Amino acid sequence: MSDTLLTTTGLAVSYGAVKAVRGSDLEVKEGEVVALLGPNGAGKSSTLRAIVGLIKYQGSVTFAGEDLTGAPTERIVSMGISMVPEGRRLFPQLTVRENLLLGAPRKAKIDALFDELLEKLPILRERLNQQAGTLSGGEQQQVALARALMSKPRLLLIDEPSLGLAPTIVDAVYQILADLRKTGLAMVIVEQEVMRVLKFADRAYAMTTGQIALQGRAEDLLASNEIKKVYLGGA
Amino acid sequence: MDALISYLVNVISLGGTYALLALGLAVVFSVLGLINFAHGELMTLTGYVLLAGILTGQQFWVAVLIAVLACGLAAVLMEFAAFRPVRNASGATLLMTSFAVSMLLQVLFQNGISARGQAIPVPPWLTTSISIGNSQISKVQVMSITIGILALIALKIFFDRSYWGWAIRAAADDFEVVGLMGIKASRLISFAFLLSGLLAGIAGVLWVVQRGSVDPLMGFKPVLAAFIVAVIGGLGSLTGAVAGGFILSAIEIALQTWLPAGVMPYRDAITYTVVVIILSFFPNGIFGKRDQEKV
């Protein structure tokens, strides 16, 4: 389809003899929010890491009509894919400003980008000169999001945005994601909080042991007994 | 009082050189997880290029500049020829490669130049002293302190204000995520080697001018000291490299100055005992990360 942004075909990732992802086929359309669900070890994070070229994989990755299979991470980022890694992984010794500036392309018009971001995330303005490692978990998640947005991506991959955050902070993070969605940014969200992400996403893929077990519209999956059985312990 | 002034001058002079060397090691460790033991041979190369420059009639400062730049270039070439092919190999492989490069360069210096030391003809104005109170401080030491401090200030500005400075500091925290910032890994590694080489070059000039000669094996002792400095400070920590440089220097010079003559042969043993005691309180170095993942 012409509005398809990202396609993975037969994506497989192995760590030695352990097969983490066993041939997954994903599709993300322009402006779409896709959830990637699954228990620990299902292969969700490995899938994201493969898409951005952080790990070797088999299969192919196409983005905006271009084959990115095996491309180095810097090219993938320059093409318009950005990632917020699990645990946020800010550079703790660097200030918030330095973290953000590293996320921007070297020749970007930094001031305009900065103003745009600080409008979306005003809390960061007060923290610009603070070391990132001294921020609270919620603030760090905002910086991690802002840093990933500095490259002006068309697709944002977010690994566990609610990990380690209090429920009220998670609400705030999802509110930011909702605002970003309005800008037309496509997202793939890996999340263990199944109910929350299914209420937020357009579509979802559910992985178990490295394979896609279920896929469909998020609201359909939300109502599906199978999802409840597999991920919510039959609730 | 004079003894104290003399002590401090010596500590700052040697500590600055150690700090520059350890920073060179730390910068490469930040991006590659490698302690480059061929760093000492980069210093030796600087000494020979400096000697060649002076012998071919260059002005002293021109010869210094050429030597430092040559050392930076040599470090980039070293990365390209020796380390890039094994970049994704284990830490042990990288370490063995650095030893191999170190040995290779030593043999090249021995057979291509001379196995014997060569005197560095420093300009006459550098051989005089200045007086502070009743203390005499050689101009070589004044030069060493001045260049060392200026280089450290320049580095501080570079790491705080420049994009590549942030990138190297970020790499020390999390090299993989630096890639997610769209920074090309090979470019960052080349840049780190260039910076490391320039630092080895500056330290090399200070080292050979102070000892007055260059020989093929002279790089071993300072690189070993720089390694210890980097460990005291915390491997990969840039602040730690500077702090460690002055700590090791303070210990060495104190023992050199005040140790009774009968115990002097044990000076190095005592130095490293003190280092071990420091590390027993700070197992990952004073500024080191608690969980060190790199080798």
Partner A contacted by B51 (CB < 8 A): no
Q: pLDDT class for B293, splitting at 50, 70, 90? A: very low
What is the arithmetic mean of pLDDT over B83-109? 93
Above 80 in pLDDT, residue A110?
no
pLDDT at site A169: 87
Whether residues A93 and B169 touch (CB distance < 8 A) is answered with yes
Confidence of residue B277 (pLDDT cuts 50, 70, 90): very high
Residue A2: pLDDT band with limits 50, 70, 90: low
What percentage of chain A reaches a pLDDT higher than 70?
95
pLDDT of residue A35: 95
Q: Is residue B133 part of a domain?
A: no
Q: Does A82 touch chain B (CB under 8 A)?
A: yes
Domain A4-88+153-231 in CATH 3.30.1370.60? The answer is no
* Minimum distance, in Å, between the CA of residue A232 and any CA atom of chain B: 32
Q: pLDDT-derived band of residue B290, with 50, 70 and 90 as boundaries?
A: low
Q: Cα(A122)–Cα(A119) distance, rounded to whole angstroms?
A: 6
Residues of A in contact with B190 (CB under 8 A): none
Q: Which of B176, B181, B185 sits opposite A102 (nearest CB)?
A: B181
Q: Is residue B202 part of a domain?
A: yes
Chain B nearest-CA distance from A86, in A, is: 11
Number of domains in chain B: 1
Per-domain residue ranges of chain A = 4-88+153-231
Q: Which amino acid is at B292?
A: Q
**Is residue B249 domain-resident?**
yes
A121 by DSSP, 3-state: which? coil
In chain B, which residue's Cα lies nearest the Cα of A81?
B180
Q: What is the ipTM of this complex?
A: 0.88
List, for residues A193-227, the tens digit of each pLDDT value.
888 999 999 999 999 889 898 899 999 988 888 77
The confidence score (pLDDT) of residue A1 equals 44
Instruction: Pick the residue from chain A with its C-alpha nearest to B287.
Output: A93
Asked if the model's pLDDT at residue B295 lies above 50, the reply is no
Q: Which residue in chain A is spatially nearest to B167 when comparing CA positions?
A: A102
Tens of pLDDT along A27-44? 999 999 999 998 888 899
Hey, is the C-beta of B291 within 8 angstroms of any chain A C-beta?
no
**In the prediction, which pLDDT does B294 show?**
38
Kindly state whether residue B286 falls inside one of the protein's structural domains. Answer: no
With CA atoms as reference, the chain A residue closest to B162 would be: A98
User: Quick check: B82 pLDDT over 70?
Assistant: yes
CATH number at residue B159: 1.10.3470
Task: Kindly give the residue spans of alpha helices, DSSP state H, lying in chain A.
Answer: 44-51, 73-79, 96-103, 110-120, 123-127, 137-149, 167-182, 194-200, 218-223, 225-231
Minimum-distance CB partner of A91 among B170, B182, B184: B170
Name chain B contacts of A85, Cβ cutoff 8 Å.
177, 180
Task: State the virtual CA torsion across A103, A108, A113, A115 in degrees, nearest 10.
Answer: 120
Q: Is the pLDDT of residue B2 over 80?
A: no
CB pairs under 8 A between A and B: 61
Average pLDDT over residues A140-153: 91
Q: What's the token pair of residue A155?
A: 């697709």
What is residue A107's predicted lDDT score, i.e. its pLDDT? 66
Between B166, B180, B183, which is nearest A83 by CB?
B180
Q: What is the mean pLDDT of chain B?
A: 91
* φ/ψ of residue A232, rounded to 5: -115, 20
Interface of B with A in 173-212 (CB under 8 A): 173-174, 176-185
Among candidates B166, B179, B180 on the partner chain, residue whose Cβ is nearest the Cβ of A94: B166
pLDDT at B291: 45
Q: How many Å apart are CA A234 and CA B136, to the nearest integer?
A: 84
- Residue B266: the pLDDT is 93
Residue B292 lies in a domain: no
CB contact (8 A) between residue A91 and residue B182: no
pLDDT digits (tens, 9 = 90+) for A71-91: 999 999 999 999 999 989 999
- pLDDT on residue B12: 92
- Alpha-carbon separation of residue A137 from A129, A142, A168, A176 (angstroms): 17, 9, 12, 15
Chain B: residue whose CA lies nearest to A79: B182
Residue A34 vs residue B132, higher pLDDT: A34
Report the alpha-carbon distance of residue B200 to residue B164 in Å, rounded.
19
Question: DSSP readout, B71-112?
Answer: HHHHHHHHIIIIIGGGTTS-HHHHHHHHHHHHHHHHHHHHHH
- The residue type found at B1 is M
Chain B residue numbers touching A94 (CB-CB < 8 A): 166, 169-170, 173
The pLDDT of residue A61 is: 96
Per-residue pLDDT of B7-63, as tens digits, reads 899 999 999 999 999 999 999 998 888 889 999 999 999 999 999 999 999 999 999
Q: Are strands A81-84 and A33-37 parallel, antiparallel or unpaired?
A: unpaired
- Minimal C-alpha gap between B184 and chain A (Å): 6
Q: Per-residue pLDDT averaged across B99-125, rounded?
A: 94
Give the closest of A92, A93, A105 to B182, CB-based. Answer: A105
Which of A49, A54, A55, A73 should be substituted to probe chain B, the one whose Cβ sees the most B Cβ atoms within 10 Å?
Answer: A73
Determine the average pLDDT of the residues in B82-98. Answer: 91
Q: For the residues B127-147, what does the mean pLDDT come to?
A: 86
Pairing between β-strand A81-84 and β-strand A155-159 as defined by DSSP bridges = parallel
With an 8 Å Cβ cutoff, is B170 touching chain A? yes
Condensed to tens digits (0 to 9), the pLDDT of residues B97-106 reads 999 999 999 9
